[in-house]
Amino acid sequence: MGTGVTSRFRDKVVLITGASSGIGEELAVQLARAGARLALAARRGDRLAQVRERIAAVGGAEPLIVVCDVTLDGDPPRAVAETLAHWNRLDIVIANAGFGVVGPFAKLSLEDYRRQFETNVFGVLRTLQAALPAVLASQGQLVIIGSVAGWTASPGASPYAMSKFAVRALANSITPELTLLGVRVTLLSPGFVESDIRRVDNQGRLHAEAAEPIPRWLVVGRDRAVAQMLRAIARGQREMVITGHGKLFVVLERFFPWVLRAAARRMAATRGSYRTEPTSE
């Protein structure tokens, strides 16, 4: 990050959900290096402790650790309350917690879709609604981690794509409302970034030993991706698509949608799992 970006975060209080790994962890480390005061929230307290050690190694201020499950109604308000009690203010909230439910439509249950939306949509809503009074008071910023999947959906990922389309719609709707109240909203839409998300199963369980399913050359390092994200946050951008391939997909979706439709048909046709009888699950 440049000096201007670093100075934007110095002494700012930032709450990050899903801060125990992947993009959330990297956001925490880079923000700590920039001088931010952090509240790190996630379900896995042991992993949050490891992130705290990484922050100590780069000389950052010791973060507040909050064990928090965004699918539980009371947890995000508690995380906000603990942040305010510890740091006395809240300037930036990054709603990052999320995972991906994937699989052919014929094999997915209604419960799979509900589970996806509880984290990726209602988890974001719980976080933003809990934080809004404090962010209004500080005239701060709400940041939503979306996805290029919120622009273009692909076969085998309908629950995830639906959830990311939903949070993109949320961001588009609330941005003009909250701008009038002095609060900035930034939607970050990454493509394939180095992360644990593709090693988490449909029940939200991490399989650390699982291989990365995306070709390595297509996956952007999370340090580089997060640096781009923080520049967008510092500038108060309304939305930023992260990664070159992500930008390409968005351009194709907006101006040449038939290209992606044809690619999706070929993808579905070459995967026999899409041609199955519905299950009873």
What's the pTM?
0.85
pLDDT at 199 over 70: no
| CA-based nearest residue to 234, from 31, 85, 62 | 31
Q: What is the pLDDT of residue 222?
A: 86
Question: In this structure, is residue 139 part of a structural domain?
Answer: yes
Question: In this structure, is residue 281 part of a structural domain?
Answer: no
| CA-based nearest residue to 230, from 35, 81, 18 | 35
CA 257, 260, 264, 270 dihedral sign is positive
Span of 80-89, 199-208, 265-274 with lowest mean pLDDT:
199-208
**Mean pLDDT of all residues in 211-230:** 73
Question: In this structure, is residue 164 part of a structural domain?
Answer: yes
Q: How would residue 276 be classed by pLDDT, with cut points 50, 70 and 90?
A: very low
Domain that holds residue 67: 3-274
Strands 141-145 and 92-95, bridge-based pairing:
parallel
Q: How many domains does one find in the chain?
A: 1
Q: What is the pLDDT of residue 273?
A: 47
Question: In this structure, is residue 280 part of a structural domain?
Answer: no
CATH code of residue 99: 3.40.50.720
Q: Which residue has the tokens 């942040």?
A: 83
pLDDT at 160 over 90: yes
pLDDT at 211 over 80: no
| pLDDT tens digits along 228-255 | 999 999 999 999 999 878 788 778 777 7
Task: Say how many C-beta atoms besides its own lie within 10 A of residue 55's C-beta.
Answer: 21
Q: What is the pLDDT of residue 1?
A: 58
- Catalytic member of 9, 87, 160, 165: 160
Mark whether 160 is an active-site residue: yes
Q: What is the pLDDT of residue 212?
A: 44
| pLDDT tens digits along 171-190 | 999 999 999 999 999 999 99
Question: In this structure, is residue 13 part of a structural domain?
Answer: yes
Distances 191 to 140, 220, 245, 262 between C-alpha atoms, Å = 26, 8, 7, 20
Question: In this structure, is residue 222 part of a structural domain?
Answer: yes
Q: How would residue 78 be classed by pLDDT, with cut points 50, 70 and 90?
A: very high
d(CA 29, CA 43): 18
Question: In this structure, is residue 126 part of a structural domain?
Answer: yes
Question: In this structure, is residue 97 part of a structural domain?
Answer: yes
